[in-house]
Amino acid sequence: MKTPMLALLGATALATSANATFDGFTAFARAVNGSTLVDVYAVTSTANHRLFNVYDSVISTSAIGGFYQASGVANKTWKPDLSSFTSTRDSIDSFMTIGASRYAGDPTVYAGITTAGDPNFTGTSWSATPASAPAVTVPNLAGWYSADPTDASLLAENISGLTGLRVGTAGNFGVWVGHLVLGTVSTQTISWQASATTKDLTTNVTQQPNYNQTFVVPAPGAATLAGIAGLGRRSRRRG
Protein backbone atom coordinates (compact mmCIF):
# COMPACT_ATOMS: atom_id res chain seq x y z
CA MET A 1 0.00 0.00 0.00
CA LYS A 2 1.32 3.39 -0.92
CA THR A 3 2.01 5.57 2.10
CA PRO A 4 0.33 9.00 1.83
CA MET A 5 2.62 12.00 1.67
CA LEU A 6 2.12 14.40 4.56
CA ALA A 7 3.75 17.78 5.12
CA LEU A 8 4.89 18.84 8.56
CA LEU A 9 4.05 21.93 10.54
CA GLY A 10 4.84 21.82 14.24
CA ALA A 11 5.45 23.77 17.40
CA THR A 12 8.43 22.84 19.53
CA ALA A 13 8.07 22.01 23.21
CA LEU A 14 9.90 24.41 25.49
CA ALA A 15 12.31 22.99 28.02
CA THR A 16 11.62 23.84 31.63
CA SER A 17 15.08 25.23 32.30
CA ALA A 18 17.64 27.00 30.15
CA ASN A 19 20.22 24.22 30.39
CA ALA A 20 17.82 21.29 30.35
CA THR A 21 19.19 18.04 28.97
CA PHE A 22 15.84 16.23 28.83
CA ASP A 23 13.87 18.44 26.50
CA GLY A 24 10.46 16.79 26.17
CA PHE A 25 8.84 14.32 23.81
CA THR A 26 8.68 14.06 20.05
CA ALA A 27 6.62 11.84 17.75
CA PHE A 28 7.15 10.37 14.29
CA ALA A 29 3.87 9.60 12.48
CA ARG A 30 3.37 7.58 9.31
CA ALA A 31 0.60 5.72 7.53
CA VAL A 32 1.14 1.97 7.09
CA ASN A 33 -1.41 -0.49 5.66
CA GLY A 34 -4.39 1.69 6.52
CA SER A 35 -3.29 2.52 10.07
CA THR A 36 -1.44 5.47 11.56
CA LEU A 37 1.71 4.53 13.48
CA VAL A 38 3.10 7.06 15.97
CA ASP A 39 6.45 6.44 17.69
CA VAL A 40 7.14 8.64 20.71
CA TYR A 41 10.66 9.48 21.94
CA ALA A 42 12.01 11.20 25.05
CA VAL A 43 14.39 13.80 23.58
CA THR A 44 17.82 14.52 25.07
CA SER A 45 20.45 17.06 24.11
CA THR A 46 23.27 14.57 23.48
CA ALA A 47 23.74 10.84 23.05
CA ASN A 48 25.39 10.45 26.46
CA HIS A 49 22.07 10.14 28.31
CA ARG A 50 20.24 7.20 29.81
CA LEU A 51 16.47 6.95 30.29
CA PHE A 52 15.17 4.96 33.27
CA ASN A 53 11.41 5.37 33.30
CA VAL A 54 8.29 7.24 32.22
CA TYR A 55 5.68 7.88 34.92
CA ASP A 56 2.59 9.89 35.93
CA SER A 57 1.37 9.65 32.35
CA VAL A 58 -1.96 11.00 31.11
CA ILE A 59 -2.31 9.71 27.55
CA SER A 60 -5.41 9.72 25.37
CA THR A 61 -6.60 9.95 21.78
CA SER A 62 -9.61 11.39 20.00
CA ALA A 63 -9.66 8.31 17.74
CA ILE A 64 -12.91 6.35 17.96
CA GLY A 65 -12.17 3.07 19.71
CA GLY A 66 -8.98 4.35 21.33
CA PHE A 67 -5.54 2.98 20.54
CA TYR A 68 -5.45 -0.11 18.36
CA GLN A 69 -4.30 -3.41 19.90
CA ALA A 70 -3.54 -6.53 17.88
CA SER A 71 -5.26 -9.77 18.80
CA GLY A 72 -3.63 -12.46 20.92
CA VAL A 73 -2.63 -12.48 24.59
CA ALA A 74 0.90 -11.22 23.82
CA ASN A 75 -0.31 -8.25 21.79
CA LYS A 76 -3.55 -6.85 23.21
CA THR A 77 -1.95 -5.06 26.18
CA TRP A 78 0.56 -2.26 26.74
CA LYS A 79 3.33 -4.77 27.43
CA PRO A 80 5.52 -5.26 24.34
CA ASP A 81 5.91 -8.81 23.10
CA LEU A 82 9.34 -9.67 24.49
CA SER A 83 9.09 -13.46 24.32
CA SER A 84 9.33 -13.68 20.55
CA PHE A 85 10.57 -10.13 19.88
CA THR A 86 7.75 -9.13 17.54
CA SER A 87 7.11 -5.62 18.89
CA THR A 88 8.81 -3.30 16.41
CA ARG A 89 8.43 0.19 14.98
CA ASP A 90 6.40 -1.35 12.14
CA SER A 91 3.99 -3.28 14.38
CA ILE A 92 0.27 -2.68 13.85
CA ASP A 93 -0.14 -2.83 17.61
CA SER A 94 0.19 -0.33 20.48
CA PHE A 95 2.72 -0.87 23.27
CA MET A 96 5.09 0.97 25.61
CA THR A 97 8.86 0.53 25.71
CA ILE A 98 11.95 1.84 27.42
CA GLY A 99 14.67 1.92 24.80
CA ALA A 100 15.23 -0.27 21.76
CA SER A 101 17.09 -3.50 21.14
CA ARG A 102 19.05 -4.61 18.09
CA TYR A 103 20.53 -7.97 17.23
CA ALA A 104 23.60 -8.76 15.14
CA GLY A 105 22.76 -9.09 11.46
CA ASP A 106 19.13 -8.01 11.94
CA PRO A 107 18.21 -4.46 10.88
CA THR A 108 14.88 -4.58 12.74
CA VAL A 109 14.56 -2.46 15.89
CA TYR A 110 12.66 -4.14 18.72
CA ALA A 111 11.09 -2.87 21.93
CA GLY A 112 13.46 -2.79 24.90
CA ILE A 113 13.66 -6.27 26.41
CA THR A 114 13.81 -5.00 30.02
CA THR A 115 10.54 -2.98 29.83
CA ALA A 116 8.14 -3.45 32.76
CA GLY A 117 4.96 -1.71 33.89
CA ASP A 118 4.38 -0.09 37.29
CA PRO A 119 1.33 -0.80 39.52
CA ASN A 120 -0.64 2.04 37.90
CA PHE A 121 -1.04 -0.19 34.85
CA THR A 122 -4.06 -1.69 36.57
CA GLY A 123 -5.95 -4.90 35.94
CA THR A 124 -4.97 -6.62 32.70
CA SER A 125 -3.89 -3.48 30.87
CA TRP A 126 -0.21 -4.51 31.11
CA SER A 127 -0.36 -8.32 31.18
CA ALA A 128 -3.48 -9.81 29.62
CA THR A 129 -5.44 -12.93 30.44
CA PRO A 130 -7.06 -14.96 27.65
CA ALA A 131 -10.49 -13.58 28.53
CA SER A 132 -9.47 -9.94 28.85
CA ALA A 133 -10.49 -7.27 26.37
CA PRO A 134 -7.84 -5.36 24.39
CA ALA A 135 -6.35 -2.49 26.42
CA VAL A 136 -7.32 0.39 24.11
CA THR A 137 -6.82 3.13 26.73
CA VAL A 138 -3.89 3.98 29.01
CA PRO A 139 -4.69 3.97 32.76
CA ASN A 140 -4.38 7.36 34.45
CA LEU A 141 -0.89 8.04 35.88
CA ALA A 142 0.47 4.78 34.44
CA GLY A 143 4.23 4.36 34.29
CA TRP A 144 6.76 1.98 32.79
CA TYR A 145 10.44 1.44 33.45
CA SER A 146 13.48 -0.67 32.72
CA ALA A 147 14.05 -3.64 35.01
CA ASP A 148 17.78 -3.27 34.30
CA PRO A 149 19.02 0.34 34.63
CA THR A 150 22.40 -0.66 33.16
CA ASP A 151 20.89 -1.96 29.90
CA ALA A 152 22.66 -0.44 26.89
CA SER A 153 19.32 -0.05 25.07
CA LEU A 154 18.42 2.78 27.47
CA LEU A 155 21.05 5.07 25.94
CA ALA A 156 19.86 7.85 23.63
CA GLU A 157 20.20 7.21 19.91
CA ASN A 158 20.41 9.55 16.95
CA ILE A 159 16.80 10.06 15.85
CA SER A 160 17.39 12.70 13.18
CA GLY A 161 16.99 10.20 10.34
CA LEU A 162 13.98 8.24 11.55
CA THR A 163 11.17 7.55 9.11
CA GLY A 164 7.94 9.47 9.61
CA LEU A 165 6.85 13.07 9.85
CA ARG A 166 8.05 14.58 13.06
CA VAL A 167 6.13 16.75 15.49
CA GLY A 168 6.97 17.94 18.99
CA THR A 169 10.29 18.71 20.62
CA ALA A 170 13.29 19.33 18.36
CA GLY A 171 16.58 17.55 18.98
CA ASN A 172 18.81 14.91 17.41
CA PHE A 173 18.88 12.33 20.22
CA GLY A 174 16.22 10.37 22.01
CA VAL A 175 15.02 7.14 23.60
CA TRP A 176 12.00 5.23 22.26
CA VAL A 177 9.18 5.18 24.84
CA GLY A 178 5.95 4.34 23.02
CA HIS A 179 4.42 2.94 19.84
CA LEU A 180 0.84 4.16 19.38
CA VAL A 181 -1.43 2.90 16.62
CA LEU A 182 -4.65 4.50 15.40
CA GLY A 183 -6.72 1.92 13.56
CA THR A 184 -7.59 4.20 10.65
CA VAL A 185 -5.65 6.85 8.77
CA SER A 186 -7.73 9.91 9.66
CA THR A 187 -7.30 13.23 11.40
CA GLN A 188 -6.98 12.47 15.11
CA THR A 189 -5.17 13.82 18.16
CA ILE A 190 -2.97 12.13 20.72
CA SER A 191 -2.56 13.93 24.04
CA TRP A 192 0.66 12.96 25.84
CA GLN A 193 1.50 14.21 29.33
CA ALA A 194 4.22 12.44 31.28
CA SER A 195 7.31 12.74 33.41
CA ALA A 196 10.51 10.82 32.73
CA THR A 197 13.79 10.21 34.51
CA THR A 198 16.97 10.73 32.51
CA LYS A 199 20.59 10.91 33.58
CA ASP A 200 23.36 12.86 31.88
CA LEU A 201 26.28 10.44 32.07
CA THR A 202 28.80 13.26 31.59
CA THR A 203 27.64 15.51 34.42
CA ASN A 204 25.93 12.79 36.50
CA VAL A 205 22.82 15.01 36.71
CA THR A 206 19.38 13.37 36.87
CA GLN A 207 16.28 15.19 35.59
CA GLN A 208 12.57 14.52 36.07
CA PRO A 209 10.57 17.21 34.24
CA ASN A 210 6.93 16.87 33.19
CA TYR A 211 5.71 17.74 29.70
CA ASN A 212 2.22 18.08 28.27
CA GLN A 213 2.01 17.78 24.49
CA THR A 214 -0.59 17.09 21.81
CA PHE A 215 0.21 15.43 18.49
CA VAL A 216 -2.29 16.00 15.66
CA VAL A 217 -2.32 13.43 12.85
CA PRO A 218 -4.20 14.35 9.64
CA ALA A 219 -6.05 12.23 7.12
CA PRO A 220 -4.31 11.26 3.87
CA GLY A 221 -4.24 14.21 1.54
CA ALA A 222 -4.40 16.74 4.34
CA ALA A 223 -2.02 19.62 3.89
CA THR A 224 -0.21 19.43 7.21
CA LEU A 225 0.72 17.32 10.17
CA ALA A 226 0.37 19.75 13.05
CA GLY A 227 1.74 19.43 16.54
CA ILE A 228 0.86 21.59 19.50
CA ALA A 229 3.25 21.27 22.40
CA GLY A 230 2.55 22.63 25.85
CA LEU A 231 5.01 23.89 28.41
CA GLY A 232 6.72 21.47 30.78
CA ARG A 233 4.83 21.87 34.05
CA ARG A 234 7.55 21.08 36.49
CA SER A 235 11.21 20.22 36.55
CA ARG A 236 13.38 18.63 39.19
CA ARG A 237 17.11 18.09 39.03
CA ARG A 238 19.01 15.74 41.23
CA GLY A 239 22.73 15.20 41.04
Question: What's residue 16's pLDDT?
Answer: 37
Question: What's residue 148's pLDDT?
Answer: 94
Question: What's residue 235's pLDDT?
Answer: 43
Question: What's residue 1's pLDDT?
Answer: 29
Question: What's residue 76's pLDDT?
Answer: 92
Q: Tally Cβ neighbours within 10 Å of residue 141.
A: 16
Question: What's residue 218's pLDDT?
Answer: 62
Q: Where are the domains of the chain?
A: 8-232
Question: What's residue 230's pLDDT?
Answer: 37
CA of 118: how far to CAs of 184, 187, 207, in Å? Answer: 30, 31, 19
DSSP letter string, 181-209: EESS-S-EEEEEEEEEEEEETTTTEEE--
Weakly modelled stretches of the chain, pLDDT under 70:
1-20, 217-239
Nearest C-alpha neighbor of 168 from the set 47, 56, 54, 41: 41
Report how far residue 141's alpha carbon sits from residue 139's, in angstroms, rounded to the nearest whole number: 6
